[in-house]
Structure 1
Amino acid sequence: MYESTVTAKGQTTLPKHVRDLLGLEAGDRIRYLVTGDTVRILRPRKAMSLCGALKREGPAISLEAMDAAVRARASRMDDP
């Protein structure tokens, strides 16, 4: 377990071992996931790291087809 002190300004320094485990360097951003009284510190993931995370059967869909599907669904939302 690691600890750090919170300053009067609400700042703290992540212990070096924690920074090393997360692969953080000066200027990197971190995220806080708060659940009840628990806080998890996460390193943000780049969008490209999600490439291939979702599998889909069938041929690829073009951006134009996706835009058309979004427009069609949005127009149905306007109908009472």
Structure 2
Amino acid sequence: MTSATITSKGQVTIPVDVRNQLGLAAGDRIEFILNDETGRYEVVPATRSVTALKGIIRKPAKPVSIEDMNAAIAERGASAR
């Protein structure tokens, strides 16, 4: 069984064989999910493909033009200064 040690700051280095098995690389995010049946936590990659995001945001009722987007960005940028 693979194990790791928790540092005083609560950090853990995920062993290389576990990272490889999960397909993790530097900068990737992971999720800790409680399995209600077993009472144990599962570590899973928090990566999703772009296609999995389809449909999360509804299409606008009226299409927005590039000019409208640029104007909104410029307006917001000017008010931030």
TM-score by length of 2: 0.54
Percent of pairs identical after alignment?
33
Tell me the matched-pair count: 55
2:32 maps to which residue? Answer: 32
How do 1:57-68 residues align onto structure 2 when only pairs under 5 Å count?
63=59
- RMSD of the TM alignment (CA)? 2.3
C-alpha change, 1:27 and 1:45, in structure 2 (3 Å) is closer
- Taking a change above 3 Å as real, the CA distance of residues 49 and 18 of structure 1, as seen in their structure-2 partners, is farther
Relative distance call for 1:9 and 1:3 in structure 2 (3 A) is same
TM-score (norm 1): 0.55
Q: Higher relative contact order by CA 8 Å / sep ≥ 6: 1 or 2? A: 2
Quote the residue 1:5 is aligned against. Answer: 5
Equivalence for 2:47:
45
- Residues 18 and 9 of structure 1: CA distance in aligned 2, closer, same or farther (over 3 Å): same
| Amino acid corresponding to residue 26 of structure 1 in structure 2 | A
Could you tell me which runs of 5 or more consecutive residues in structure 1 were left unpaired when the two chains were aligned: 52-61, 68-80
Q: Give the gaps of 5 or more residues in structure 2.
A: 62-81
